[in-house]
Amino acid sequence: MNPPRIEALGDCALLILCGDGIDASINARALAIAHTVEAARLPGVLDVAPAYASVCVRYEPGEWIGADAQSPFERLAGRLSPLVDNAASGAATAAGFIEIPVTYGGESGPDLDAVAAHARLSREAVIALHSGADYRVAMLGFTPGFAYLLGLPAALHMPRRATPRTRVPAGSVAIGGAQTGVYPRETPGGWHLIGRTTLDLFDPARDPPALLAPGMRVRFVAQ
């Protein structure tokens, strides 16, 4: 992998670019960098948000104004560079582990048969594969609390629906491309629904509101 690079993202944020595409090793690097930057508690850093292959750092520019001609971005990037280098050499995260109970098929998973047909497997085999894999939260996005999970078995990779649904029930467990995830709230969606959980993945009154976090390990348990 190429060394990460730091780029300005407007006047109060920067982006640490770790690579391109959906790749477990690149994402692990992004998560390690995010963990290291958060742990450093640099002044004026407001938020650290990892994605699949990058980390967004929002900051208060006024905290990084100096007597020289450097911009706030340049001064912060200079402080971040050694942290990024050290994190890329193997810093680890410990975001925890959670089991998510799932009712597969039927009204809870109306696309289970379609996924089975695409994979040329039985319904039972799809359930066994999906619930037998170990996943890691790569990032949060799309809607509050929605976790993109890496680790879906290759046999279950499937293109998104040609026509997205206008309403996907909260708690729906779904497959889209090489990813799986759970819809925290009722929203439109184009992934294939294979089951549903009763866990509340996002609660604004909870601290933190999102049940899942980047780096967390996840296992689905068939009910």
Q: Record the pTM.
A: 0.89
Are residue 75 and residue 101 in the same domain, yes or no? no
Predicted pLDDT of residue 4: 93
Half-sphere exposure (Cβ direction) of 41: Cα atoms closer than 13 Å: 1
One-letter identity of residue 209: P
Averaged pLDDT score across all residues of the chain? 94
Predicted pLDDT of residue 88: 61
CATH number reported for the structural domain that contains residue 172 in this entry? 2.40.100.10
Are residue 182 and residue 115 in the same domain, yes or no? yes
Q: Which domain covers residue 162, as residue numbers? A: 97-222
Are residue 218 and residue 142 in the same domain, yes or no? yes
Q: Which residues contact 2 (CB under 8 A, 6 or more apart)?
A: 19
Predicted pLDDT of residue 89: 55
Are residue 80 and residue 145 in the same domain, yes or no? no
DSSP 18: -
- How many distinct structural domains can be found in the chain? 2
pLDDT tens, position by position, 76-112: 999 999 999 988 655 555 679 999 999 999 999 999 9
Calpha distance 181→104 (Å, rounded): 14
Are residue 146 and residue 213 in the same domain, yes or no? yes
Q: Is the pLDDT score of 167 beyond 90?
A: yes
Mean pLDDT of the 49-61 span: 96
Predicted pLDDT of residue 93: 57
CATH number reported for the structural domain that contains residue 81 in this entry? 3.30.1360.40
DSSP 116: H
Mean pLDDT of the 133-143 span: 95
Are residue 108 and residue 205 in the same domain, yes or no? yes
Final residue before a domain boundary, out of 64, 88, 112: 88
Are residue 176 and residue 125 in the same domain, yes or no? yes
Are residue 124 and residue 203 in the same domain, yes or no? yes
Q: Which residues contact 152 (CB under 8 A, 6 or more apart)?
A: 130, 133, 135, 175, 178, 179, 180
Are residue 131 and residue 34 in the same domain, yes or no? no
Final residue before a domain boundary, out of 88, 109, 128: 88
Are residue 217 and residue 149 in the same domain, yes or no? yes
Final residue before a domain boundary, out of 65, 88, 111: 88
Q: What are phi and psi of 89, to 5 degrees?
A: -85, 5
Mean pLDDT of the 124-135 span: 97
Are residue 101 and residue 140 in the same domain, yes or no? yes
Mean pLDDT of the 202-219 span: 95
Are residue 74 and residue 133 in the same domain, yes or no? no
Predicted pLDDT of residue 165: 97
